[in-house]
């Protein structure tokens, strides 16, 4: 019977979870029209869940007289809209809009000042409910997270799609707010799907339909394409993702540098980023506090090189790579500067981490005396797609091969067997100036800031 229950053509009802016959429009059991069917329904396991009009939903829950009224949360110190309920949105109210404009659009709206403590509490409840579904929950902000439900079918006695529908129900009953679910095979499309039919949405984007679906969408759907970059693309006559699908990678990289690679892969629905629950593994990094402060590039470069090698070794050990290189500096007056740069492709190579870090570091050499230097990579993904032979810079490919050879030697003869020109004879090698001071730098997840 199980096979029949889980037949994707049959699907299930989102209100009572009853399996359905194919072709019916309403649930035979409860009459609900909210039926889910999809050819890949029981194959997909990567989800993105985002609560609907989160702050406003919490306020409506706590004051039922607001249920059918337009509600705007905001008007704090900055005088902007934090969020608006879906009734207020019909009138054009949006997050980040100046409050006076929002009230012009919707004069009858009830305005409520944000109560962050309360929203953080509810956010934690929602997160705990997610963590009961799978250990692989990656919170993205106060009201959303990625979940990987691979391998949880036996635990729940049902496939991920049903687990997610049951979660939405429980959220409504137990917490009193609603959420939208996106189910797909990669993070990019799971997030796109959760946004697709808000509120109370449940959208699925399967592997087979991904490129066809994306072809019709505007380029702004791509993670990292904001208004400014969209206008660069527009100037080149590119408005739809389908146009990017017709371009080859070399051409995209020639035109748009590191963004070109992202455009190439995401436009084709290729996204290798994994769901990572571990807060510390959101970035891999190393840092050193000096015995004495340094302001000269010459003094900092060998340390940067040694730390880059350490980061690279950690990435290689964990089969990870990262798309963003992050430089951290602490000045003698304890001010922290972090600077980051996104790469076209994820890297695990010391050389790319170092050269990117060095570009960032050069700009910070302004006479400031630094007591700490750190380097790391964030935006982690599986190392499978890391450091493809660079189509533009063949030299960097040669350096990658050289680094592979150095790794092999070090594996055989130990870490000190090979030193690069930057670290040789300097005696730093990224060792802490004082024992125990080299540490993983703090990695703060947006979630923790609330």
User: Which sequence positions are flagged as catalytic?
Assistant: 144
Of 113 and 415, CB closest to ligand TTP: 113
Contact between 374 and 336 under an 8 Å Cβ cutoff? The reply is no
Contact between 326 and 364 under an 8 Å Cβ cutoff? The reply is no
Question: What phi and psi, each to the nearest 5 degrees, are found at residue 103?
Answer: -75, -25
Q: Rounded CA gap, 244 and 266, in Å?
A: 10
Q: Report what 198 binds from ligand TTP, Mg ion, none; CB cut-off 5-8 Å by kind.
A: ligand TTP
Q: Rounded CA gap, 244 and 101, in Å?
A: 36
From 45-53, 161-169, 200-208, 318-326, span contacting ligand TTP (CB under 6 A): 45-53
Q: Is 210 helix (H, G, I), strand (E, B) or coil?
A: helix
State in angstroms the smallest separation of the CB of 29 from ligand TTP.
29
Site string for Mg ion, 24-63 (x = CB under 5 A): --------------------------xx--x---------
Q: 373 has which bridge partners?
A: 288, 329
Cα Rg, the chain, nearest whole Å:
25
122-126 contacts at long range (C-beta below 8 A, 24 or more positions apart): 122/58, 122/175, 122/177, 123/54, 123/447, 123/450, 125/175, 126/51, 126/171, 126/175, 126/177, 126/179
Site string for ligand TTP, 1-40 (x = CB under 6 A): ----------------------------------------
The reply on whether position 185 binds ligand TTP by CB under 6 A is no
The reply on whether position 144 binds Mg ion by CB under 5 A is yes
Residue in 190, 63, 181, 171 with CA at minimum distance from that of residue 123? 171
Candidate residues 53, 88, 275, 320; the one interacting with ligand TTP per rule CB under 6 A = 53
Binding annotation for Mg(2+): 50, 143
The reply on whether position 82 binds ligand TTP by CB under 6 A is yes
DSSP one-letter code for 111: E
Q: Report what 347 binds from ligand TTP, Mg ion, none; CB cut-off 5-8 Å by kind.
A: none
Q: Rounded CA gap, 258 and 343, in Å?
A: 6
The reply on whether position 52 binds ligand TTP by CB under 6 A is yes
Residue 58's CB: how many other CB atoms inside 10 A? Answer: 24
The reply on whether position 91 binds ligand TTP by CB under 6 A is no
Binding annotation: 50, 143
The reply on whether position 93 binds ligand TTP by CB under 6 A is no
State in angstroms the smallest separation of the CB of 53 from Mg ion.
7
Q: Rounded CA gap, 110 and 74, in Å?
A: 10
From 141-149, 217-225, 317-325, 398-406, span contacting ligand TTP (CB under 6 A): 141-149
From 21-29, 47-55, 102-110, 293-301, span contacting ligand TTP (CB under 6 A): 47-55
Of 50 and 403, CB closest to ligand TTP: 50
DSSP string, 382-411: EGGGSSPPPSS-HHHHHHHHHHHHHHHHHH
State in angstroms the smallest separation of the CB of 55 from ligand TTP.
4
From 26-34, 136-144, 153-161, 304-312, span contacting Mg ion (CB under 5 A): 136-144
The reply on whether position 143 binds Mg ion by CB under 5 A is yes
The reply on whether position 130 binds ligand TTP by CB under 6 A is no
- Secondary-structure breakdown of the chain: helix, strand, coil percentages, each rounded to the nearest 5: 40, 20, 40
From 142-150, 209-217, 242-250, 354-362, span contacting ligand TTP (CB under 6 A): 142-150
Candidate residues 96, 128, 150, 417; the one interacting with ligand TTP per rule CB under 6 A = 96
The reply on whether position 59 binds ligand TTP by CB under 6 A is no
Q: Rounded CA gap, 375 and 384, in Å?
A: 22
Residue in 412, 270, 406, 292 with CA at minimum distance from that of residue 350? 406
Residues listed for the chain:
450
Of 95 and 243, CB closest to ligand TTP: 95
Site residues, Mg ion (CB under 5 A)? 50-51, 54, 143-144
Enumerate binding residues for ligand TTP (CB under 6 A). Answer: 50-55, 82-83, 95-96, 142-144, 198-199
């Amino acid at each position: 019977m199980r096979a029949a229950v889980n037949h994707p053509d049959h699907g299930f009802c989102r209100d009572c979870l009853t399996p359905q016959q194919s072709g019916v429009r309403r649930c035979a059991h409860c009459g609900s029209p909210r039926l889910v069917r999809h050819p890949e329904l029981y194959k997909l396991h990567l989800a993105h869940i985002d609560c609907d009009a989160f702050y406003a939903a919490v306020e409506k829950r706590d004051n039922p007289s607001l249920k059918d009224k337009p509600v705007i949360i905001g008007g704090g110190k900055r005088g902007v809209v934090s969020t608006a309920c879906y009734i207020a949105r019909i009138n054009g109210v949006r997050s980040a809009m100046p409050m006076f404009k929002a009230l012009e659009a919707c004069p009858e709206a009830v305005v409520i000042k944000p109560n962050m403590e309360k929203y953080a509490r509810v956010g934690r409840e929602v997160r705990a409910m997610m963590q009961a579904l799978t250990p692989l929950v990656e919170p993205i902000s106060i009201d959303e997270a990625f979940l990987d439900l691979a391998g949880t079918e036996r635990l729940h006695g049902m496939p991920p799609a049903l687990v997610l529908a049951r979660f939405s129900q429980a959220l409504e009953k137990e917490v009193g707010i609603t959420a939208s679910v996106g189910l797909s095979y990669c993070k990019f499309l799971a997030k796109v799907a959760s946004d697709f039919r808000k509120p109370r949405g449940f959208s699925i984007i399967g592997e087979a339909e991904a490129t066809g679906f994306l072809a019709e969408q505007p380029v702004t759907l791509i993670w990292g394409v904001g208004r400014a970059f969209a206008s660069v693309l527009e100037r080149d006559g590119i408005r739809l993702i389908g146009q990017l699908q017709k371009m080859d990678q070399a051409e995209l990289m020639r035109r748009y540098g590191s963004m070109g690679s992202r455009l190439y892969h995401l436009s084709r629905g290729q996204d290798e980023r994994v769901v990572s629950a571990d807060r510390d593994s959101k970035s891999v990094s190393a840092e050193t506090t000096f015995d004495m402060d340094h302001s000269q590039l010459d003094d900092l470069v060998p340390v940067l090189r040694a730390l880059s090698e350490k980061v690279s070794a950690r990435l290689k050990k964990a089969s990870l790579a990262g798309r963003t290189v992050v430089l951290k500096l602490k000045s003698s007056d304890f001010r922290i500067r972090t600077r980051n740069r996104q790469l076209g492709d994820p890297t695990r190579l010391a050389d790319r981490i170092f050269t990117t870090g060095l570009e960032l570091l050069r700009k910070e050499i302004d006479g400031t005396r630094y007591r700490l230097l750190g380097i790391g990579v964030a935006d982690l993904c599986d190392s499978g797609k890391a450091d493809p032979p660079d189509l533009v810079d063949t030299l960097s490919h040669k350096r990658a091969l050289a680094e592979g050879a150095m790794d092999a030697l070090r594996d055989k003869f130990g870490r000190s067997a090979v030193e690069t020109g930057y670290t040789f004879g300097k005696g730093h090698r990224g060792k802490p100036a004082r024992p125990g001071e080299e540490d993983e730098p703090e990695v703060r997840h947006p979630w923790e800031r609330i």
